[in-house]
Amino acid sequence: MPKSWYDRHVVNKFDDDSKKDFYRSIVADKKPYFMRYIYPSLMKQYNTYISNTNRNALREFQVTVPEMMSAPYESLTDRQREFLRYYGYRMPVGLNNCVMNRICRRFEEEFDGIIKKSKPEMQFDYTILKSGVEYSMSRYYSIRKLYEDYNRQLRNLAIFSKYERVDGTDLKIEIDQLNYEFRKECTKVCPNEETLCDIILDLCYSKSSTKKFAWEMCGKTIIHNLLERNSHKISFPELSESGDIYYCGKAFSEHEIEIPDDSD
């Protein structure tokens, strides 16, 4: 792909002014607005930019950027027009009305504030995942040290993969290897699967933190505990013309099956 398609600095070096103007109008040097929801770092960059520019606008003009943009162009001062021009030029995402951007804005309008306003009626009771065994605090602190080390290595791996542009497949291999090594270390500290499961669940679910460690280290035990609590039966919706559950214009009925106990 030619750099002139996505690098504005390359376009600015063109000698032909008409060619330069044309390429400036089509250069794709920014990710589209909707991609904020795909890349967390881009979302953070966008939110920081919006916050800072609004603060600067309020300090200099006593109005926000949206208020300036909604005002008649003729009513703006030269300085305000220049501010808005640079605001658009330095915007970290592309705001063009492409199909995906329009869909994204429509969703934002429909769901604005809904997630923040909706609060769960009750907190998730993670004890349903536990084996229900007691453990010593010495083992708890030993596993906690591994838990903190795991999170630190996972963060470092994420940073490394971002800056080195590690291929997705290679990154998965690295994470799988990391999980394998920590499963071995956890088993050395606590060979009993049920005890280990309860320690890790208390670590991950008793405070607001990532639950990845719990499911990577003792996911099978967690699933086993859930099946035990429900007599090894699971239920799920199944297509049925006479069903009483409707979704996307189709009828479903609840179907139940028994999962064999693999511990026998």
Mean pLDDT across the chain: 88
**What sign does the dihedral 66-67-70-75 (CA atoms) show?**
negative
Total Cβ atoms within 10 A of residue 15: 6
* Contact predicate 248/242, CB 8 Å: no
173 inside domain? yes
Instruction: Tell me: do 134 and 186 sit in the same domain.
Output: yes
81 inside domain? yes
Q: pLDDT (tens digit, 9 = 90+) per residue, 107-142?
A: 988 888 776 666 666 678 899 999 999 999 999 999
* Contact predicate 234/253, CB 8 Å: no
The DSSP secondary-structure symbol of 31 reads E
- Of 80, 115, 150, the position where a domain reaches its end is 115
Instruction: Tell me: do 184 and 242 sit in the same domain.
Output: no
Residue span of the structural domain in which 158 resides: 126-229
**What sign does the dihedral 149-154-158-160 (CA atoms) show?**
positive
Q: What is the pTM of this model?
A: 0.54
Q: Would you place residue 263 in the very low, low, confident or very high pLDDT band (cuts 50, 70, 90)?
A: low
121 inside domain? no
98 inside domain? yes
Instruction: Tell me: do 136 and 196 sit in the same domain.
Output: yes
Instruction: Tell me: do 47 and 103 sit in the same domain.
Output: yes
- Of 65, 85, 115, the position where a domain reaches its end is 115
- Of 94, 115, 136, the position where a domain reaches its end is 115
145 inside domain? yes
Q: Count of domains in the chain?
A: 3
